[in-house]
Structure 1
Amino acid sequence: MTNATDQYSFDVVVIGSGPGGFAAANRATDFGKKVCIIEKSHIGGAGVINGVLTSKTMYELSMDYSVAARVDRGYRASALSVDYNLVRNTVLEAAREKQYQMRSQIETFANVSHKGTISLITGYAKFKDAHTVEVDDQGKMLTIHGDYFIIATGAHPRRLPGVKTDGKRIITSDNILSLSKFPGRLLIIGSGIIGCEFATIFSNFNQTQVHLLDRSNRVLPYEDDDVSEFVSDNLEKNGVIVHHTAQLRCIREHPGHLEVVLDYDAGNSRVIEVDVALIAIGREPNTQNIGLETLGVTPDKRGLIPVDENGCVENNHGHTHIYAIGDVTAQAQLYSVAEFQGRLAAEAIAKSICYLPDYSNMSTLMFFKPEVAAVGANEKTLQEKNIGYRAVFYSNILVNRAIAMRNTHGFVKILVSNDDEQRILGMRASGPQASAYIVAVAHLINQGNSLSEVLRVFYPHPSITEGIQESMRALASKSIFKPVAFPKHIKVSEWKPGDPKTQTPRDEKIRKSQKK
């Protein structure tokens, strides 16, 4: 290791180049700031490599393959085959394309002729004091001084206690692109969004027997039961073997396979044989070994950094020039959240905040088959908060555009307040184009729109969004197709706190937990 130390000084130092860090750096240039981005590995972070972009590229390729393999549309693809190495190369090509776009932007603003500038430094950053970080770039030590700092170090896959990953047979999402071929048999440990997405991807390619370990009685346990059952049923129809109420006892490694022992809540056990085990039980913030203790900053028990509404770190002994954004904060680990927080931090530094975020109605996408989109509240959260609501479920089977697409497997589910205003509280949707129109409903929720206001809008025909229109009409008892004629495809219900007529077995569990 060389003893040489180079020193640099910047207005804003951003640690991490993921969606939050990159957005923060570029927003800071709008205010004429001299910015430095420090990245220890791949530019773009998990937003590009081993995360959002790569997994969604693989998802899209798997969906293309799945459509090509269909034989119920009047055509048939002959000699259909797939090669994992070629799929991986296509995924990496997509990642490189985005990385070069980011590099092009940085190189453009490296030019000092611009009012704001960006410098990219590669290495691992650690705080030495409140205004200095030391960067280890493969042995070359750099000292970076900053007037302001933005911590955007992201997160990494959570490890499973007692199970050691080797990156080859026992892996996390970081190792998906390290595989050399489709596993013959794959166990996915974790039935949240990440686990269900990879179960969808590998089952779509139809080269892998996929086992999905679900510790609870349903996948996506935080979602409403009907949504969870919909996703679980579709996974099983796609060939995934879902092990409900199962706990992983151990994984025994053999030269040619992994032996997995599962214990079920019913008291029985089962031994299965797989080639690869993928641990997908969430992500943990990257707040270790970055020198937070030097600042007097103490992450909480989950490793998250406490921040105020602007992203300024709170318990930092009065250091109001240090911000934290994205996965290292307590907000949802979403690309859009990190990006918004990054922009907000840059605006706070420039004392030019446009508006504060509303985290109550964030849109999320789940890349299953079919895709699922969500925004606002679901029934579980409303019941836990004792908020009354009315709900409508409207199947895509009745939507003309879905019929024309020969793709009717999906639904729209909307919740409104059960008062005179009938404000839109939340929506869950699945099927074609769900990811495209969910943001329109997010706008309706944020603006406090009511059912009556939405019913005045003309919806284009034929469009998938007509399902939203008809579901709203069903809530108002004005739909063209009636629930009485299609009881399986149109369902209208109501829930009132304390009303025994609308209570479910789950409500009794909630009441007991609240008493405790």
Structure 2
Amino acid sequence: MTRIAIIGGGPGGYEAALVAARLGAEVTIVDRDGIGGAAVLTDCVPSKTLIATADVMTAFEDAPELGVLVGESGGDCVTGVDLGRVNARVKALAAKQSEDIAEGLSKAGVAVVRGSGRLADGGATVEVATVGGSTEKIGADAVIIATGARPRELPSARPDGERILTWTQLYDLEELPEDLIVVGSGVTGAEFAGAYQALGSQVTLVSSRGRVLPGEDQDAAAVLEEVFQRRGMRVLSRSRAASATREGDRVTVMLEDGRTVQGTHCLMAVGSLPNTEDLGLAAAGVQTTPSGHIAVDRVSRTTAAGVYAAGDCTGLLPLASVAAMQGRIAVYHALGEAVWPINLKRVSSNIFTAPEIATVGRTSFNAENGDPKFDVVKLPLDTNPRAKMLGFHDGFVKLYARPGSGTVLGGVVVSPRASELIHPVALAVDLHLTVDQVASVFTVYPSLSGSIAEAARRLHQEEE
């Protein structure tokens, strides 16, 4: 029986463990912070649960257009949230999800050891400092490192867990921040800025770049920034934060150009760092990048024989779905099963703002306008009949195809529930479907997905 030891119980770890157990391996997970990892306990699950409440608040805001009156007072729609209750629900759901995963591991026969693991004996052994204070050694034929990442902290803006916060500390707040400063306009910063604005906070978003979501589709980022500002958010572009300091119940963020921004709370969303310290990597021959991430190939192998890595500690793509796929691929390879190397062009991702932004395959981020390798069609969401009925105005559907063959190469959907709408585009990309094949499939009328078929039809017309 092959022995597989996994360091880290997040998506890259627990998904690998489940697959390995089903394939007959003897599996041990060494977990320090709780099964499910940051994705379940402090990141994806809690943040999207919080955002679910924010989505309801956004719906209330748009309700009058549909003729729905909610707590109307003096012509205004009056709503509010109890952040203590919201966060209690957030933490309860995260804990329950962690328990469910742990139960699934137990039923599959996976052993879980609580503690911190590191490579020993050239990677053939995992040495564990258990929570009970003892040391345990686990022999392994293959080791998978899935230790994840943590929020990056600036020396000049140390979080205190009360007024200056990382995204892992938000869920301990009992009262809604009156005036929240969000430093960082990437995915995490944009999601929380939009969520807290919807919940009722006055939000200032500090972006060091020229626009929000600098690494995403430009058209999508422009829509979101316009929505943010229309809803009352203050967006400071090209404004790099130098420090954040607290005085009593006020926080001051100093910008590098000398300006200051004041608020009641500050969220630092300035990236993440891989958890790759004290793992015995160098001694085992595991190479890391200058950023501290573990270098892996497309089947999750590190530079040390028998040692694999998965998830945010590899720096491939910081997505739970990618971590899980890396973990499964590592197991398949370690056990000699057939394996498809990971292909990031097939990965669909979503930004849970309002509207959501979903992408898959090749998009305008790596296909500039006028590139002869791409045909592009963009349909505004407000031309879709179902969107009109639902009162959706902001967003679009964009498809990319290869000239001549019409093969679908990628797409962007900006819309409420874009995370659900991107799936047919992802299928088209994965299966190398043509725009004609996508257009020939019946869609419900009226439906938001009808815009995907319509975009495919428009690309066919352009080819002619």
Say yes or no: TM over 0.5. yes
Q: Tell me which amino acid in the other structure corresponds to 2:332.
A: E
Q: Structure 1 CA distance, aligned partners of 2:387 and 2:369?
A: 34
* Mapped pair 1:28 → 2:20: yes
* Mapped pair 1:222 → 2:209: no
Cα shift at 1:367 = 0.5
Task: Answer whether contact 2:41 2:98 (CA < 8 A) is retained.
Answer: no
Q: Structure 1 CA distance, aligned partners of 2:164 and 2:252?
A: 12
Tell me which of 52, 56, 80 is aligned to 1:64: 56
Q: Percent same amino acid at aligned positions?
A: 29
Structure 1: 5+ residue runs without aligned partners? 1-8, 110-116, 479-491, 493-516
Task: Answer whether contact 1:211 1:240 (CA < 8 A) is retained.
Answer: yes
Q: Which residue of 2 aligns with 1:186?
A: 180
Q: Which residue of 1 aligns with 2:385?
A: 400
- Across the aligned residues of Structure 1 and Structure 2, the Cα RMSD in angstroms comes to 2.1
Cα shift at 1:294 = 2.3
Task: Answer whether contact 2:45 2:94 (CA < 8 A) is retained.
Answer: yes
Once the two structures are superposed, residues 186-230 of structure 1 have per-residue CA deviations (whole angstroms, 9 ceiling, x without a partner) of 111110111000001100111x11111111111111223222111
Comparing 62-71 and 439-448, the one that deviates more: 62-71
Q: Structure 1 CA distance, aligned partners of 2:427 and 2:105?
A: 32
Cα shift at 1:162 = 3.0
* Mapped pair 1:451 → 2:435: yes
Seen in structure 2, the aligned counterparts of structure 1 residues 249 and 158 have a Cα distance that, compared at 3 Å, is: closer
Tell me which of 284, 296, 299 is aligned to 2:288: 299
Task: Answer whether contact 1:361 1:377 (CA < 8 A) is retained.
Answer: no
Cα shift at 1:68 = 3.0
Task: Answer whether contact 1:10 1:145 (CA < 8 A) is retained.
Answer: no
Q: Which residue of 2 aligns with 1:46?
A: 38
Counterparts of 1:167-186 in structure 2, within 5 Å, are: 167-186=161-180
Cα shift at 1:237 = 2.1
Q: Which residue of 1 aligns with 2:96?
A: 97
Seen in structure 2, the aligned counterparts of structure 1 residues 352 and 280 have a Cα distance that, compared at 3 Å, is: same
Tell me which of 120, 125, 131 is aligned to 2:124: 131
Q: Which residue of 2 aligns with 1:441?
A: 425
* Mapped pair 1:383 → 2:364: no
Q: Which residue of 2 aligns with 1:231?
A: 224
Could you say what secondary structure the match of 1:168 adopts?
coil
Q: Tell me which amino acid in the other structure corresponds to 1:68.
A: F
Task: Answer whether contact 1:50 1:176 (CA < 8 A) is retained.
Answer: no
Task: Answer whether contact 1:312 1:323 (CA < 8 A) is retained.
Answer: yes
Larger radius of gyration: 1
Q: Structure 1 CA distance, aligned partners of 2:263 and 2:31?
A: 36
Once the two structures are superposed, residues 67-110 of structure 1 have per-residue CA deviations (whole angstroms, 9 ceiling, x without a partner) of 2344332222226331111000111121122112112212323x
Q: Which residue of 1 aligns with 2:330?
A: 345
Tell me which of 242, 256, 262 is aligned to 2:249: 256
Structure 2: 5+ residue runs without aligned partners? 72-77
Q: Which residue of 2 aligns with 1:484?
A: none
Q: Which residue of 1 aligns with 2:75?
A: none
Task: Answer whether contact 1:10 1:36 (CA < 8 A) is retained.
Answer: no
Q: Structure 2 CA distance, aligned partners of 1:292 and 1:57?
A: 36
Q: Structure 1 CA distance, aligned partners of 2:352 and 2:153?
A: 23
Cα shift at 1:274 = 1.1
Cα shift at 1:472 = 2.3
Q: Tell me which amino acid in the other structure corresponds to 1:475.
A: L
Q: Structure 1 CA distance, aligned partners of 2:292 and 2:256?
A: 30
Kindly tell me the number of residue pairs found equivalent between the two proteins: 454
Could you say what secondary structure the match of 1:173 adopts?
coil
Q: Tell me which amino acid in the other structure corresponds to 2:40.
A: V
Once the two structures are superposed, residues 230-250 of structure 1 have per-residue CA deviations (whole angstroms, 9 ceiling, x without a partner) of 111111123221101112133
Q: Which residue of 2 aligns with 1:507?
A: none
* Mapped pair 1:11 → 2:10: no
Task: Answer whether contact 2:413 2:421 (CA < 8 A) is retained.
Answer: no
Tell me which of 341, 344, 348 is aligned to 1:356: 341
Q: Which residue of 2 aligns with 1:512?
A: none
Cα shift at 1:182 = 1.3
User: TM-score, length-normalised on structure 1?
Assistant: 0.84
User: TM-score, length-normalised on structure 2?
Assistant: 0.93
Comparing 171-180 and 190-199, the one that deviates more: 171-180
Once the two structures are superposed, residues 25-83 of structure 1 have per-residue CA deviations (whole angstroms, 9 ceiling, x without a partner) of 00001111111111101210011011001100000111112223443322222263311
Once the two structures are superposed, residues 158-187 of structure 1 have per-residue CA deviations (whole angstroms, 9 ceiling, x without a partner) of 222532222222211111112232111111
Task: Answer whether contact 1:402 1:432 (CA < 8 A) is retained.
Answer: no
Cα shift at 1:263 = 4.3
* Mapped pair 1:202 → 2:196: yes
Tell me which of 433, 457, 463 is aligned to 1:473: 457
* Mapped pair 1:83 → 2:82: yes
Q: Which residue of 2 aligns with 1:277?
A: 266
Task: Answer whether contact 2:128 2:135 (CA < 8 A) is retained.
Answer: yes
Once the two structures are superposed, residues 295-344 of structure 1 have per-residue CA deviations (whole angstroms, 9 ceiling, x without a partner) of 02231101111222221212x2xxx2111111122411111111111111
Seen in structure 2, the aligned counterparts of structure 1 residues 178 and 234 have a Cα distance that, compared at 3 Å, is: same
